[in-house]
Amino acid sequence: MTGPKLDFPDQVPYDAYVHATTLHSLQQPLSKDPGEMSFLMISQVMELYFGLARFELGEVQRALRDDDVWGAVPPLRRTALHLEGLNAAWRSLRWMTPGDFNRFRSALGEASGFQSAMYRHLEFLLGLKSEPVIRPFHRLAEVHAELVEALHAPSVWDDVIALLARRGFEVSVDTDLTKEHEPDPGVEAAWVEIYRDDRPDSALHALGEALTDVAEQFGDWRYKHLVAVQRTMGAKPGSGGSAGATWLTRSMARVVFPELWSARTAM
């Protein structure tokens, strides 16, 4: 019985594939406080999850535009699971008290999670559109251009509504994709009708449940973010001039896939 291969002519294959050496070189704390490493690394983990969810939702959109409803369900289910992992990351910061955070907070300067471009991509894909949030990136030409493109592109919910229209449901298709979706009674009625058919082979019913899982997990992330801020900062202003917990509380009122939730009242 032979053991694992231990000698390689060039790079270690695992490192060449995962880029672990590069990943572990990206933690560069700005203070001498050991707690900052947790804050920095968990922030980086969350950024990776944002990017992964963005990738999966892109796969969802491709399937929806091809009228492949069953094909859209697996990446939606994966997205919900990725968001569960994202939510679990908050647990690694539950040790942090206001005193713990204050020991390195000043080193962050004006840096704020509000400035996460990948999070904005995720919000836009989920239909939470807002032009002002891309302004911090105007000096980063490539990043800004990608966000402008995402702002003008259909969200996942736009693609779902377009699919419903092609399937014969009387729904209104948004024409200004840069604005946040306004709930439509026709879309709500469509989901009420879809949910009447709860057979296992109903693709649209499965789509609705997979979308609901994504919306629920994203809502959980926003709530956990708010609690983490309240736990470490109370009602103090956030870094970079944001309103901190107050802004996060307002943002939670913006519902992802709104008619999927309102339709349940009529079911």
The mean pLDDT of the chain is: 93
No. of helices (H) and no. of strands (E), the chain: 12, 0
> What is the CA angle 53-54-57, rounded to 5?
85
Cα–Cα distance, 43 to 193 (Å, whole number):
42
Closest CA to 43 of 132, 146, 115: 115
| Alpha helices (H) in 167-257, listed in sequence order | 185-196, 203-233, 245-251
Where residue 161 falls among pLDDT bands split at 50, 70, 90? Answer: very high
For residue 10, being part of any structural domain is answered with no
For residue 7, being part of any structural domain is answered with no
Is 74 a residue whose pLDDT tops 70?
yes
pLDDT at 241: 62
Cα–Cα distance, 116 to 133 (Å, whole number):
10
Confirm if 237 and 112 have CB atoms less than 8 A apart: no
Q: How far is CA 89 from the centre of its chain?
A: 14
Q: Span 228-240, mean pLDDT?
A: 81
Q: Is 167 annotated as a binding residue?
A: no
Q: Span 225-249, mean pLDDT?
A: 79
pLDDT at 2: 79
For residue 53, being part of any structural domain is answered with yes
The mean-pLDDT minimum among 143-152, 169-178, 215-224, 227-236 falls in 227-236
Q: What is the CATH number of the domain that holds 239?
A: 1.20.58.480
CB atoms within 10 A of CB 136: 19
CB atoms within 10 A of CB 155: 25
For residue 18, being part of any structural domain is answered with no
Q: Is 225 annotated as a binding residue?
A: yes
Where residue 240 falls among pLDDT bands split at 50, 70, 90? Answer: low
Backbone angles phi, psi at 231, to 5 degrees: -70, -35
Is 81 a residue whose pLDDT tops 70?
yes
For residue 157, being part of any structural domain is answered with yes
Confirm if 169 and 186 have CB atoms less than 8 A apart: yes
pLDDT in tens, 129-158: 999 999 999 999 999 999 999 999 999 999
Q: How far is CA 148 from the centre of its chain?
A: 17
Q: DSSP class of residue 114?
A: G
- Report how many domains make up the chain: 1
For residue 50, being part of any structural domain is answered with yes
For residue 146, being part of any structural domain is answered with yes
Where residue 112 falls among pLDDT bands split at 50, 70, 90? Answer: confident
pLDDT in tens, 29-43: 999 999 999 999 999
Highest mean pLDDT among 78-87, 194-203, 230-239: 78-87
Confirm if 36 and 30 have CB atoms less than 8 A apart: yes
Where residue 245 falls among pLDDT bands split at 50, 70, 90? Answer: confident
Task: Give the structural domain span for 78.
Answer: 34-266
Q: How far is CA 24 from CA 16, 32, 45, 82, 156, in A?
A: 14, 18, 12, 21, 34
For residue 17, being part of any structural domain is answered with no
